[in-house]
Structure 1
Amino acid sequence: MAVADVRPAVTADVSEITRIQRVTWQAAYADLLPSEVLATLDTPDAEEAWHEALAQPAARVFVATEGEWTVGFCAAGPAPAEAVASAGGALPADADRVGLVSVLLVEPRWGRRGHAGRLLAAAGQALRGEGAERGVAWIPQSDAASESFYRKAGWEPDGTARTLDAGGRPFREVRFTGPLDIPLVERGGETGGTPFGAAPDAEPR
């Protein structure tokens, strides 16, 4: 079996990160996002955005690999005020100790192999090393796969939702929050361990 691993992303990973985001979102969100929004993922601007993200000092971007293949990625960093504020705009007491998992994607054909858990564990370790005590992530309200994944990691919705403008179409998201110490346990011979003591039923998207 090919070795599965997670490592920090480098500039050479940008094309694969962009490709994974494109194919995953086009498969998962075709009914939620307008076609013109999804089309922007297949332009040079999409790669440029990831080059800029990697250049940000506070950004932590990781890629998941299996053998020679790049199969998923995760981007995280300190949570900005708007990511942790209440619906009324009030900040929690621990606002300066919260990390944001801004995106965590595994290409569908590589799902159910523990890659998402390894990515979340790596991001959590990095965020804890920089003083974060808990994490937050915003996921589409109707994204059952991502909801199941985060719940298995011990994260729960905190009751806050927001509506974004996605090319003229409302896009509803809910906020999950939870611990950053994600245990990895060897199971079933899978190299690198699987999260939460068992393989997750679904990967986030």
Structure 2
Amino acid sequence: MDAHGPVVPPRDRHAREDDAEQIAELQVAAWRTAYAGILPAAELHGLDTVALTDFWRGQIASAAAAGAHVLVHDDGQRITGFSAFGPARDDDLRQRPGVEELYAFYARPECWGTGVGRSLMRSTLSIWADRGTPAGYLWVLERNARGRAFYQKGGWRHDPTAAPSGSDPGALEIRYELTEPGTRGR
């Protein structure tokens, strides 16, 4: 309880199509902050919120049919983070039954270190546990030290068998894997 009444706790929920614009704005802000000095400034400046809004609206609309999810962390006033995940897309992991990929995972820069990411990760892993997902993976920019540290703290490990992706040496992506995610999400 605070001076204004009961405190409404932040919550994670499945995204709705009308969340797409906030998700797009959040992604642009997160990319421009997290990838400054990693990706070319022109690329970051050129991010198109309108195009991303359309992209996320489509992803949210088709998620269930594709076996995917888009979750948001909603603090009651705005969306402060989101995760998108679903079936594995990498050829070597699609052959393994039930393996999931974390496609996107972002929080508003001003919310970094506040628990938004931990909450979203718990919710993501909880869904994986409910589905019996044996392993999950993600791709992260090799030079994204903050992101890599977050994932490593949560038990994700660099997968040395995966070839780095990307043609720009400054923007190489490396794969991380999490085994038995159901034991970490509850």
Normalising by the smaller structure, the TM-score range is 0.7 to 0.9
Counterparts of 1:150 and 1:43, CA distance in 2: 26
Considering fraction of residues, name the structure with more strand.
1
State the match for 1:132 in structure 2. Answer: 133
Counterparts of 1:125 and 1:183, CA distance in 2: 5
Matches within 5 A, 1:15-94: 15-56=21-62, 57=65, 58-82=67-91, 85=92
Counterpart of 1:149, as a letter, is: F
* Partners of 2:102 and 2:138 within 8 A in 1: yes
Name the SS for the 1:164 alignment partner: coil
Question: Which consecutive residues of structure 2, in runs of 5 or more, have no partner in the other structure?
Answer: 1-6
* Partners of 1:106 and 1:116 within 8 A in 2: yes
Considering fraction of residues, name the structure with more helix.
2
1:141 maps to 2:150: no
Counterparts of 1:145 and 1:41, CA distance in 2: 21
* Partners of 1:97 and 1:132 within 8 A in 2: yes
Counterparts of 2:151 and 2:49, CA distance in 1: 30
Question: Which consecutive residues of structure 1, in runs of 5 or more, have no partner in the other structure?
Answer: 86-90, 185-205
* Partners of 2:143 and 2:171 within 8 A in 1: no
* Partners of 2:82 and 2:120 within 8 A in 1: yes
How many Å apart are 1:47 and its aligned residue?
1.1
* Partners of 2:28 and 2:49 within 8 A in 1: no
Counterparts of 1:116 and 1:70, CA distance in 2: 12
How many Å apart are 1:64 and its aligned residue?
0.7
* Partners of 2:16 and 2:60 within 8 A in 1: yes
Question: Greater RCO between the two (CA within 8 Å, min separation 6)?
Answer: 1
Root mean square deviation of aligned Cα:
2.1
Identity of aligned residues (%): 26
Matches within 5 A, 1:124-203: 124-159=125-160, 160-165=162-167, 171-178=171-178, 179-181=180-182, 182-183=184-185
Counterparts of 1:40 and 1:78, CA distance in 2: 29
TM-score normalised to structure 1 length: 0.76
